[in-house]
Homo-oligomer: A and B are copies of this chain.
C-alpha cells in the first residue's frame, strides 16, 4: 500500500524508507496530560496541588536518571522503574502521603496514558501510507504499547531504547533501530522536537526532521518553532511533515 507521489521537497530524501519518532514531547503532550490527570484526581479528593510543577519536577529528573544508567552507575533499568524512583521522592516533596501501592502504581503509569498532540494521529496515519512509522523512544516497550492502544497512535511497530539496553542519545539505539528496520542509517529519518536527539541521530548517519512543539514545557516557557541546526526538514507539526514528505492525503 505504498502510494508513490513525486518528492518535490528534497531529492536527497528519496531513499528514506522509515521514520522513527521520539515520543515524549514530540508525539504526546506529557506535561498537559499529567496536569489534566492530576487535576481530575485531586478534584475528587478535595486536594490542591501545583500539577504543572509536579509534572515539571518529574520530567526534570528524567535525564539525570537515564544518564546514571548510561554512565553505568545503575544497571539497565526500564524507564517505568526510573519513573517510579522519582515518583516516590515527589510524593514526599509534595506531601502526598498515604497512597496505596496500587495508587502509586496507577500514578506511575500516567506515562502509559499520555495524550497525543492534536495533529499526531492524523499525521502518522498519512505518513504510514508511504513510510514505515515506528517509535524510537526511551520509554519501555510496554509503556509505548499501552500508550499506542490508549491514544490510537498507529505505529507499525514499537522500537525502544529497551531493545538495545542503551538510552538515547547513545549511538547503539539509532544504529540498532536502523539495523532492525533492515535499513542503512541514511534510509531512516529521526523525527523529534529536541535538537540533541536529532544531532545524535545525524552523527549516526540518519536523516533528521525537527518538529516544533512550542508548548511542550508550557506557555510560560515556550520553545522556538524553528531552531538552528542542520536538519533535513523543519516542520510545524506532523501534518506539515506529511506535506513536506509528499505523503498523500487520505480520501475520507
Contacts and interface: CB of A to CB of B under 8 A. Distances in A.
Chain copies in the assembled complex: 2
A227 to B, nearest CB: 31
B149 A156 contact: yes
Contacts of A152: 1
Interface stretch (A89-97, A116-124, A140-148, A210-218): A140-148
A131 B247 CA distance: 31
B181 A141 contact: yes
A15 to B, nearest CB: 15
Given A132-B145, A145-B157, A149-B156, 7 more contacts: A141-B180, A142-B181, A142-B183, A143-B182, A145-B156, A145-B181, A145-B182
A96 B180 CA distance: 31
Interface in A136-194: 140-143, 145-146, 148-150, 152, 155-158, 162-163, 180-183
A80 interface: yes
A148 B1 CA distance: 11
Interface in A62-80: 80
